[in-house]
Structures are given as structure tokens and as C-alpha cells.
Structure 1
């Protein structure tokens, strides 16, 4: 597979419908996910003999956020003849603040504008949402459970971004591994529904689990959450780390009153050591309400459903001369947060 350089190259692209619809790494790096007008731009500049003019481009965001995806964006250009300055991943940026600067022949990076902006927009949106959710946790651990809400091709990107944003871990295997962590998760409702009893699953879970590994059990499948929590605690004793409440919206979801009752009943039976973890449609306001009574959170759709943060790439210099479209200030915009990375 060769890099796309011209509109003429489109004729050699034959795409079968008998494939997964997501782009492969090779397709991304060879320009197959760019907007087609960048190929037309290259044809025009080549016709004019201008395709190798050295330009400086800067990227900024339309709103405040937490930067993620910058390392992936840099990797797109690692084999290109360009210089790059960028904010470190995990940096908070303000609206219109320069996030990344690229300098080199336009032919070296022009077709990747779409790709780089998309990487930064999506990952920064997810990381920013994770930061908001984590702040609401009041210091309690937060796990990202959002992979099921997005296309599997981007699920690891999303969960990795959540870790950049402050999540303590993630359930998506590849997402956690990309960030240098081991994925975490308990057992889904499917296991309990197939087995028919929560305690039986809990005992089997214990039997296959190393002694030093914590065990957390879902307790909202069949019975009242408080009753089921006590049954599981009595069956597993000190082996039980925590119970997870994921009460569906049809039953009113997880509420402060429910958590307080489960806590009180566990304590009355002598199970003060058992933690309470909650999940299911959580968002910052609800997390904040629960945070004084809960030991950890699993957050999914609030992070995975976050809006991308619009990113813009502007050419600010051509052959060292300041330039800009109307409405923008010509020339590069200094930013002390930028670090030369290439």
C-alpha cells in the first residue's frame, strides 16, 4: 500500500464491503482517511511548483479542555521531514491556545490535517469528560467502562484517553495496555443469568481467582441489593472485596438511599470491610451526590459519549513570512507550554 499523493491515486483504491469498516493503521498512515480536497490541494500546488514550500502550521482548540491524542498525532509524522512542537499529553489548554506547531514542506504533512485534528478532537473530548467525572468522585477511584458504547476500532483510543483524563483504570483490554496498565473488571450480568444464582457465581469466581486478587460481585441481578450483598458476604467472608450496584433505570437506578441502606445492613452484619462500587449511567452531578457514601465508581457513557473538542489547523507562516486568513493574526503564536518533540 502506497501513500496517496494525488487525485489520480484514488483509481487504485478498491474497497471491498466484505471487511470491517474501520480503517487499518496502514490506511490511516497512507492518507486513506483524509478529506479528498487535500489531494486536490497537492495537485494544484504541484502544478504551480509550490508543493514543497516550507510552511508553519498551528493547531488550536475552540474550547477549554485536557489534551489527549497528541502522542498519537506526533507518531503520524514521525517519518516525515518536519519539526514539531507540542503541549505534553494531559495538559489543560484554553480556547485558541496553540496546542501543536508543525514546520516543514507542505507536501510532508498537508494530507494529514484531517487525521491529526480528528485524533486530537476525539481524544481530548474523552479525556476532558473523564477529568470532569473524576473530579466529582472526591478522591474515590474511578474506572472507565465505556468501550461498549463506541465502535471497537476506537474503544481503546477512548479508554486510553480516559486514563489520561484521570481514570484510575479501564476495562478495555487494549485501552489499558496502551497506557501501561492491566485491565480491570468484575463479572457481567450474563454470568449470573446463565448460572441462575448470584452466590453460586461468587463461589465459582472465588475458586478460579488467585488469593491475592480482589473479588467484587454484582448484586442487582435477582434479589434486593441489600439482601444479595449480605448473602454474598456471608458466602465469601474476607475474600469479598466489594459489591457492585448497577441497578437499572427501570428500577430507579442507584440512589443515595439505596447505597446508604446497603452500607448499613452490611455493617450491622459485621461486614464493614466490604466496599461499595457503583456504575450505570453515571454523570458528574450524580457522582457528586454519591461520592460521600461510595468507595469507587465505574463510568462509561458519560466519557464515551463526550463531544469532540473542535480543533483547527492554520498556516501561520510561508517560507518564514507571517500570514493568516482574515480574522486571524499572522505569524506564530508563542506558547510556553509547547515543547519541541521532533
Structure 2
């Protein structure tokens, strides 16, 4: 069986077959009528700034999708925070990219949602270790998309092995409750010792400490069992059994410290969100975040034509190259005309027509991505992460999402 899990293969995406049916019918109709106008189209979420920022990512996949086609494209840099106005602009004969719209929006919408949620978690505990544990909540085929978005937003690591191979990063993690079950109640020390003996020295010794008995008892038992080799304990108690989770963590910390285990860290996981992380960040040392990231709403991007001019099947010169301007056009509720967006030093996000002056102190954000079908930008995850975190400080992201 060539496609055992029924996923859409890359070949179909690149061929434009991963599309909505009405784009195929549009292509058929335009070809029948001999029409293929030269257009400028923009991808936006909001037309005007709203004061609420999102993280822009997925642009590397969009560039791959557009590569080799008779068009130009400009986009925000990967990891940029945006608030209104276009994040991507495409110019060329409409039929060059008409059938790509569905995939293109998918490449941007979901990863940007993941990254925005991951940034919320990151900033909830900026001094703590925060890891992505959410791959189990999405289809395996997009696990690397989740983990890349998490790293872009500044998270310290992730758990998915195959995603790590794709991203060139090593996955992390220690032990699940299933390991403890395999040894049985009362045999927790045997489980922890076996783990310590079996895994590589580079793997932190983090003992899961809430399986059979209360968190304090198992944490102390783990510390007594592994002694100086124990790096930390993980508390993964489900919300239905927690009670006052902060009090539980404080109690574990107190009892460990009272017995000389001040160097044993406490790592929390299990249904955590930014609010619960903020509540625990002064008493816990690290957090695993899953469903808050993977359950994030996709950013509601849409692609709209904003300028149009007559063109034929062999029309290839861009408006920029020819110096010609097309007719301003838009659907109701959208803004016509080619636009540029700017970031000002005070964190402002401004939208103007591209042929008008922007803010005197503003930096234009839309930059070349594809020229004549050739990708003209390089992509580096570390650079994107640095940009994302710097932008978050500049625009005061935490206040915008409060």
C-alpha cells in the first residue's frame, strides 16, 4: 500500500490538486473564456490593526509551493509578529497560483496558530524551561510543523522523535506512567533504577512521581532511590485529582528541601496553559505544554485579489517590472490596492498603500520571497526564533493577548 494513512502526498500539493473544487472549476472557466488576468493578491487576517498580534510562520513551505512558477511574491520574515494588513503578496497571471490558494493558506494558518499559542506559553514563564509535549494531539504527518512552531516561539525543546530528525534537533523526554505500570505498585524504585541504568548519560534523570501514591511520597522516594543522580521529578497529575496544584508543588518542594534535596527540580505537565504556568512559575522549574499549543485556533487568513489588469496566457511581466498599474479592486469588506506594512520603534503596526509614504520612523515588513519563480530568501529557524522573541518585546505581546 503506497499511502497507508490516507494523507495527501507532497506531489498532489505541488501539482495544485490539494485544492478546493471551485478553484478547478474557475480554472476550467477562465481557460474556456481565454482569460488569465495579471493580478496582485494579498493574504490577510485583519484589514486594519486590531491591537492583537499573532506570529507569522509557514512561509518556507509557501515559498516551496510557489517555486518555479511565473510569479513574484513578497512576505513578512518568518517569525514576525503582525497585526492587520497583508502578510504575503503574490503577483502574476492568476492561473499560475489560483489552484494553490487552499494549500497556501493551510501552510500559513495552522502553523501561525501553533506558534502564537507557543509564544503565550513561553512568555508565561520566561525564566523556566518550557517544552512542547503536544504532538500526540495532531496527525503524525504534521508533528514536525507543531514542533518547529514551538521552537520558533522560543520553547526549549520538544518530545517527538521523527520531528526531531526532520528539524535536525534531538527530541527530549524521560518516562511515561506506562513504564511505572510495567513494574507495578510498590516497585517504583525498581523502575527508576532500571531507567537510570538503561538510558544514556545525556538523558536527564527526571522521575515521574505521581503514579500510585501522592506526589510528595513518590518524590521523596525517587530522591532517596537515585540520590545525587536524580535531576528532577515530574508531576503529571490529572486536573481531576489535583485539588490545589500550586499547594501540591509547594509541598513537594518543601519536603525535598527539608531533606537536603534542594537541587532536585520540579517539572509540571498535564493540561497546562499560560494562566496555570504563571501561577506555578515561582514554585516549579519547568513545564511541558501540549494541548494549549495543538488546540490553538488557526489564524484566519484569506487570499484576495486587490489589483487586476488584462493579461493573456503568456503575460509574464510584473507590474513592478513593467511600471504599469492595474485597476484597484476588492470584494466588499476588503481593502483594494497593493499595500505595505510597517513596524515603528514603539511597536506600532501600520498599513498603507505601497505607493504612498509610510510612517517616517517605520520599517517596511514585506520583503522579497520569490522573483520570477526563484526563491530569493534563506530560512533559518534560530533567526526566526530570535526575531519572534524580539518582536514580542517590541510590540508588548503579553499585553496584546491579555
Q: Same fold (TM over 0.5)?
A: yes
**Are 1:325 and 2:325 matched, yes or no?**
no
Instruction: Look up the match of 1:204.
Output: 194
How has the CA–CA distance of structure 1 residues 174 and 85 changed in structure 2, closer, same or farther, with 3 Å as cutoff?
farther
Instruction: Look up the match of 1:169.
Output: 157
CA deviations 1:52-105 (Å, max 9, x no partner) are x3221111113631112111122111222221111111110103x210111122
**Secondary structure, in 3 states, of the residue corresponding to 1:334?**
strand
CA deviations 1:27-68 (Å, max 9, x no partner) are 2222232101001111111112123x3221111113631112
Instruction: Look up the match of 1:213.
Output: 203
Q: Given that residues 317 and 331 in structure 1 are in contact (C-alpha distance below 8 angstroms), is that contact kept between their aligned partners in structure 2?
A: yes
Q: Cα distance, 1:253 vs. partner?
A: 6.0
Instruction: Look up the match of 1:93.
Output: 82
Instruction: Please show how residues 233-248 of structure 1 align to structure 2 within 5 Å.
Output: 233-248=223-238
Instruction: Look up the match of 2:136.
Output: 148
TM-score by length of 2: 0.77
Structure 1 stretches of 4+ with a deviation exceeding 4 A read none
Distance of 2:87 and 2:203 partners within structure 1: 41
**Secondary structure, in 3 states, of the residue corresponding to 1:154?**
helix
Instruction: Look up the match of 2:33.
Output: 48
**Secondary structure, in 3 states, of the residue corresponding to 1:341?**
strand
- Could you tell which deviates more after superposition, 209-218 or 238-247? 209-218
Instruction: Look up the match of 1:70.
Output: 59
Instruction: Look up the match of 1:110.
Output: 98
CA deviations 1:240-259 (Å, max 9, x no partner) are 11110001123126711000
CA deviations 1:96-140 (Å, max 9, x no partner) are x21011112222211010111112111111111111111111421
Instruction: Please show how residues 105-144 of structure 1 align to structure 2 within 5 Å.
Output: 105-144=93-132
* Stretches of structure 1 lacking an aligned partner (at least 5 in a row): 1-15
- Could you tell which deviates more after superposition, 144-153 or 25-34? 25-34
How has the CA–CA distance of structure 1 residues 49 and 72 changed in structure 2, closer, same or farther, with 3 Å as cutoff?
same
**Secondary structure, in 3 states, of the residue corresponding to 1:130?**
helix
Instruction: Look up the match of 2:287.
Output: 297
How has the CA–CA distance of structure 1 residues 303 and 317 changed in structure 2, closer, same or farther, with 3 Å as cutoff?
same
* Stretches of structure 2 lacking an aligned partner (at least 5 in a row): 47-51, 310-324, 342-363, 371-402
Q: Cα distance, 1:266 vs. partner?
A: 0.8
Q: Cα distance, 1:18 vs. partner?
A: 8.1
- Larger RCO (alpha carbons 8 Å, 6+ apart): 2
Q: Given that residues 42 and 306 in structure 2 are in contact (C-alpha distance below 8 angstroms), is that contact kept between their aligned partners in structure 1?
A: yes
- Alignment RMSD: 1.9
Distance of 2:13 and 2:182 partners within structure 1: 41
Count of paired positions: 325
Instruction: Look up the match of 1:60.
Output: 44
